A and B are shown apart, each in its own frame.
Chain A
Amino acid sequence: MKKYQLGEFEEIVILTIAVLYKEAYGVSIKKEIETRLKRNVSMGALHTALVRLEDKGYIKSSDGEATEERAGRPKKYFQITALGKRAMEYSKDTRDELWSAIPKLSLNPKIVGG
């Protein structure tokens, strides 16, 4: 099994990109995360994560249209690559494995020790 390096925030970003499907670009990703997770996302952190993900080959970018709101600057749309999909699955699988290995008692605070 290969090792897939995926930080916590990177994972969220890549998941959001998957959620947004063909609509994933800087601002939309930011808004989506902020809406769903109710946490503030700074442009700096976001773009850094996007650059890193792209360098690792987990996402790829393509040019989008320019709009009025962006003063004529184009958008950059992101998509998940096959490698990225595998990374996401690996991450999900490892989490699930860990979850299923938790004994019932560990998470149930009802039984009080003496």
Chain B
Amino acid sequence: MKPTPPKVPLRFFRWYCHPKLQKYIEGDLIEVYGDRVAEIGKRKADLGFFIDVMLLCRPGIIRPLRIYRTKSNGIMLRSYFKIGYRNILKNKGYSFINIFGLSLGIACCLLMLKYVRFETSYDNFHPSLERTFRVDRQFPSGTSGSSAPPLARTLKDNYAEVEEAMRINTPGDFIIRHDDGPGGVLAFNETNIFAADSNFFSFFGFELKEGNPHTALSGANKVVLSQEVAHKLFGNETALGKTLLLGDDRAAIEVTGVTNHQPENTHFHFDYLLSMETNPNVKRRDWSWVWTQVVTYVRLRPDASPQQLEAKLAGMAEKIIKPAFEARGMNYENTRGTWNFILLPMHDIHLRSGDNRLGPVGSIAYVYTFGIIGIFVLIIAAINFINLSTARATRRAREVGVKKSLGASRSSLISQFQAESIMMAIISMLLAIPVAEGLRWMIAELGGIEIQFSIWDEQILLALPVLALFIGFAAGLYPSFYLTSFRPVQVLKGKIAAGMGNVALRNALVIVQFTISIALITGTIIVFQQLRFMGNTDLGFNKENVLLIKYADKLGSHLETFRDEVKTFPGVVNAGITMEVPGGSTWSDDFVREGTEVNVNVSLVKIDENYFETLGFGMAAGRGFEIGRPSDRNAVIINETTAHLFGWTPDQAIGQYLVYPGNENTRHEIIGVMKDFHYQSLQQPIIPVLFCKLDAEIWGDWRTLTVKFTGTDLPALIQRIDNNWNKVLNDTPMDYAFLDQNLEAQYRTEKKLGSLFGFFSGLAILIAVIGLVGLVSYSAEVRKKEIGIRKVFGASPQRIVVMMNSQYTRLIFISLLIATPFSWWAISQWLDSFAFRIEISPLVFVVAGIVQVSLALLSVGYLSLRAASVNPSIVLKEE
């Protein structure tokens, strides 16, 4: 056995040695090696060989650097592009499929990423953002961002880490009037009114185009307007210094500032911002720790640690809150353990808090989901691109053979294929931009979601070309490296047929595509199922045909007569007065079971005797409020959940008494227990509710008149009610709405989610099908001869169709198996956020699979039919 020298040094030698000398020196090396092995043994011979190779590494022997390569590159590049361009035109069909599919994918991904970036950029323009926190309270059921008035002052006075504290209050809705002189008095029902402490502008970075941010909110009866409102009220005149009349009392407030347009990406916007002193309610409740109608923000000192402060806050309950309770004779023990204060960084409010008194919140889960979907769609499109390019590349084997025999180096061939591939990717990228615009318009139309999008975004301008380059490069890898390794002789002889390339890899990629598509389809189906479920669930009352007259409290003492009149109108079945309707805000307070320490925080609703009937609530025990029973003034009705929390069955609760600490411990008899109903959306569990009469001595002045009507002649009815209204209040517009519409609006986010999901499923499927079409039509063409031969041997067209399609059906089945557990898990997570949800039925996955299969079969059906009906003689003739 001839000993061989060590391989690594040998390879190294071959690499650096000048080609002209290589053979001879290598021969010498081997000869000497052979002698040495005989003389001193293999080990030492190996060492000697190694040393020799090292010592041979000298200037005279090393190959010269490849200076001669760079000169040809510039010219070669142009020829690559020319050839690439011609290739694209030669196969317009495939090229279009390829390019369009990829642009669609890129466009999708762009939009999604834009959306993600926008959502995560909320509140980034406020000063000292990293030191600003909202003070939340943690309950077992979740966190609440609402706090009570004394919290801010307490924090500032007792904790050194707190540099500043600020509160924002929600005073409710008011009518704003402006005396326009000759124009008369303008009146608007305004809903976007807030009140804030004087240091507001040091917390929120809104710019004032009129007014001084330091003084605009100090003192009573001051208001800062948004730019749009100022324009609405005053046109182009300066708003500063003008007077507005607030609410029914027509309190005069002075405009002390106007903001520039408030940026979209913040968790709090306002039309009117009153100074805190303008809302006397806040001052009045300065002692109360349960009147949670403000939101408290703090800014910490630069060196302070939020964790340390949070730990200290745990002690606040005992030190400060307990004495405050006891000073008013309220029972502190029942609330023990609920005073967990946490500091929520302001930046996290929009996406991670789940609760915002001041406006809508987004959800970090949705942001992640859409980000992932965007990336998935891009992956599908990129896979398509790579798949199709790879399959088609094998056609060019002959071209490679010719070029090689003419002397092309392997690297130049590789460059050529890469250049072509990258060129197609760049065209796709350019096309993606108008496609993205089109998609954005479609999303806005169908789903009502606005995604800001402009290409003049540094990150995108950078990322796009890089992405195109990367995909083009990846797609070009297989053709360039595999094809260019052919020996010219084999290719020119025809021994390497234009084939399908690496089938296993392509199948794997197709499976990935189908899996993603199936997951998206199931997601869409389930989202819509859940939506339908929520729309159809019995809410515990009747929401159809209920007209809501809002701000009915303005009618003052006329309210009850107004209601009685409306009851007599034709088309009206019943009318009832309530403080708040289901789907509206909750106003909570504490009630205590008499004789015990059991305290329940209930949502308070004041109603009249007709309300239950108007909305069709059911009673579980006892009775409703009745006219002519003056003792009802102090009576209350609770729902089943409340009774349960107090420790009673519905029947036991009747005749029991509750004590209201907020009003010097007045006693209230429970006269009825009603069946549970859904006050809030189905995402929330059923909350404890307590009803009392309108004239009970408890706070709560808001009123809504609910009117149950039959469907006939609604406009006339509204007109009549409006006329009545104007008879009482002729300078106040009547504001009305419909209960069922209001309730539907609760699920706006979910509806948007459903639309978006549906939209993107459609897109993903489209892209996957495009890819499939490309592959199958290509495969059909390549296998023309095979099909011809099969037909000659007796295969019927149907059999051929089945044969061609069955391979893809198998793949879809595998995808179904993979997609099912994954999407089951993901969807369950989403459904868990609903207190009331559907169960996932396996049927959904089967349906998704069937949809996918049918779509795939439909799209390739025509193609395979056409391929199968080819005339064998024509096909086999070409040789």
Binding site for B on A (CB under 8 A): 25-27, 30, 42-45, 47-48, 51-52, 66-71, 73-76
Question: How close is A77's CB to chain B, nearest CB, in angstroms?
Answer: 10
Asked if B58 contacts A27 (CB within 8 A), the reply is no
Q: Tell me whether B56 is interfacial, beta carbon within 8 Å.
A: yes
How far is it, in angstroms, between the C-alpha of A61 and the C-alpha of B31 when the chains are bound?
19
CB nearest to A42 among chain B residues: B55
Q: Quick one: given A42-B52, A43-B55, A74-B23, are A51 and B60 in contact (CB under 8 Å)? A: yes
Asked if A48 contacts B60 (CB within 8 A), the reply is yes
How far is it, in angstroms, between the C-alpha of A73 and the C-alpha of B30 when the chains are bound?
9
- Residues of A with C-beta under 8 A to B31: 27, 67, 69-70
Q: What 17 new A-B contacts, CB under 8 Å, besides A43-B25, A43-B55, A75-B24? A: A26-B24, A27-B28, A27-B32, A42-B51, A44-B52, A44-B55, A44-B56, A51-B21, A52-B60, A69-B30, A70-B28, A70-B30, A71-B4, A73-B24, A73-B27, A74-B23, A74-B24
Asked if A47 contacts B30 (CB within 8 A), the reply is no
How far is it, in angstroms, between the C-alpha of A68 and the C-alpha of B27 when the chains are bound?
10
CB nearest to B28 among chain A residues: A26
Question: How close is A39's CB to chain B, nearest CB, in angstroms?
Answer: 15
Q: Quick one: given A73-B24, A73-B27, A75-B27, are A47 and B61 in contact (CB under 8 Å)? A: yes
Q: Tell me whether B29 is interfacial, beta carbon within 8 Å.
A: yes
Contact of A43 among B23, B32, B34, B60 (CB under 8 A): B32
How far is it, in angstroms, between the C-alpha of A18 and the C-alpha of B752 when the chains are bound?
95
- Pairs A–B under 8 Å by Cβ, sample size 17: A26-B24, A27-B32, A30-B32, A43-B28, A43-B29, A44-B54, A47-B28, A47-B61, A48-B58, A48-B60, A51-B21, A51-B60, A67-B31, A70-B31, A73-B23, A73-B24, A76-B24
How far is it, in angstroms, between the C-alpha of A43 and the C-alpha of B56 when the chains are bound?
7
Binding site for A on B (CB under 8 A): 2, 4, 21, 23-32, 34, 51-52, 54-58, 60-61
Asked if B23 contacts A47 (CB within 8 A), the reply is no
- Residues of B with C-beta under 8 A to A68: 2
Question: How close is A69's CB to chain B, nearest CB, in angstroms?
Answer: 5
How far is it, in angstroms, between the C-alpha of A76 and the C-alpha of B51 when the chains are bound?
22
Asked if B34 contacts A69 (CB within 8 A), the reply is yes
- Residues of A with C-beta under 8 A to B55: 42-45
- Residues of B with C-beta under 8 A to A44: 52, 54-58, 61
How far is it, in angstroms, between the C-alpha of A98 and the C-alpha of B274 when the chains are bound?
114
Contact of A71 among B24, B27, B52, B61 (CB under 8 A): B27
CB nearest to A43 among chain B residues: B52
Asked if B61 contacts A48 (CB within 8 A), the reply is yes
- Residues of A with C-beta under 8 A to B34: 69
Which A-B residue pairs are the 10 nearest by beta carbons? A73-B27, A44-B55, A70-B27, A26-B28, A76-B24, A44-B56, A43-B52, A48-B60, A51-B60, A42-B55
- Residues of A with C-beta under 8 A to B57: 44
Q: Is the interface of A mostly helix, strand, loop or mixed?
A: mixed
Asked if B26 contacts A73 (CB within 8 A), the reply is yes
- Residues of B with C-beta under 8 A to A48: 58, 60-61
Question: How close is B28's CB to chain A, nearest CB, in angstroms?
Answer: 4
- Residues of B with C-beta under 8 A to A71: 2, 4, 27, 30
How far is it, in angstroms, between the C-alpha of A44 and the C-alpha of B49 when the chains are bound?
11
Question: How close is B58's CB to chain A, nearest CB, in angstroms?
Answer: 5
Question: How close is A55's CB to chain B, nearest CB, in angstroms?
Answer: 8
How far is it, in angstroms, between the C-alpha of A58 and the C-alpha of B15 when the chains are bound?
29
CB nearest to B29 among chain A residues: A43
Interface centre among B2, B27, B29, B60 (most CB of A within 10 A): B27
How far is it, in angstroms, between the C-alpha of A44 and the C-alpha of B23 when the chains are bound?
15
CB nearest to A48 among chain B residues: B60
- Residues of B with C-beta under 8 A to A74: 23-24, 27
Asked if B27 contacts A47 (CB within 8 A), the reply is no
How far is it, in angstroms, between the C-alpha of A48 and the C-alpha of B21 when the chains are bound?
11
How far is it, in angstroms, between the C-alpha of A86 and the C-alpha of B27 when the chains are bound?
31
- Residues of A with C-beta under 8 A to B27: 26, 66, 70-71, 73-75
How far is it, in angstroms, between the C-alpha of A113 and the C-alpha of B29 when the chains are bound?
55
Question: How close is A8's CB to chain B, nearest CB, in angstroms?
Answer: 17
- Residues of B with C-beta under 8 A to A30: 28, 32
CB nearest to A68 among chain B residues: B2
How far is it, in angstroms, between the C-alpha of A75 and the C-alpha of B61 when the chains are bound?
17
Question: How close is A64's CB to chain B, nearest CB, in angstroms?
Answer: 9
- Residues of A with C-beta under 8 A to B21: 47, 51
Interface centre among A30, A45, A76 (most CB of B within 10 A): A76
Asked if B30 contacts A51 (CB within 8 A), the reply is no
- Residues of A with C-beta under 8 A to B23: 73-74
Question: How close is B60's CB to chain A, nearest CB, in angstroms?
Answer: 5
How far is it, in angstroms, between the C-alpha of A25 and the C-alpha of B31 when the chains are bound?
12
- Residues of B with C-beta under 8 A to A25: 24, 28
Question: How close is B803's CB to chain A, nearest CB, in angstroms?
Answer: 51
Interface centre among B2, B23, B31, B51 (most CB of A within 10 A): B31
CB nearest to B23 among chain A residues: A73
Question: How close is B13's CB to chain A, nearest CB, in angstroms?
Answer: 10
Question: How close is A1's CB to chain B, nearest CB, in angstroms?
Answer: 28
CB nearest to A44 among chain B residues: B55
How far is it, in angstroms, between the C-alpha of A65 and the C-alpha of B262 when the chains are bound?
89
How far is it, in angstroms, between the C-alpha of A26 and the C-alpha of B21 when the chains are bound?
12
CB nearest to A55 among chain B residues: B60
Question: How close is B580's CB to chain A, nearest CB, in angstroms?
Answer: 96
Interface centre among A43, A74, A75 (most CB of B within 10 A): A43
How far is it, in angstroms, between the C-alpha of A82 and the C-alpha of B773 when the chains are bound?
76
How far is it, in angstroms, between the C-alpha of A76 and the C-alpha of B55 when the chains are bound?
20
- Residues of A with C-beta under 8 A to B4: 71
Question: How close is A67's CB to chain B, nearest CB, in angstroms?
Answer: 8
- Residues of B with C-beta under 8 A to A70: 27-28, 30-31
How far is it, in angstroms, between the C-alpha of A88 and the C-alpha of B60 when the chains are bound?
23
How far is it, in angstroms, between the C-alpha of A71 and the C-alpha of B4 when the chains are bound?
9
- Residues of B with C-beta under 8 A to A66: 27
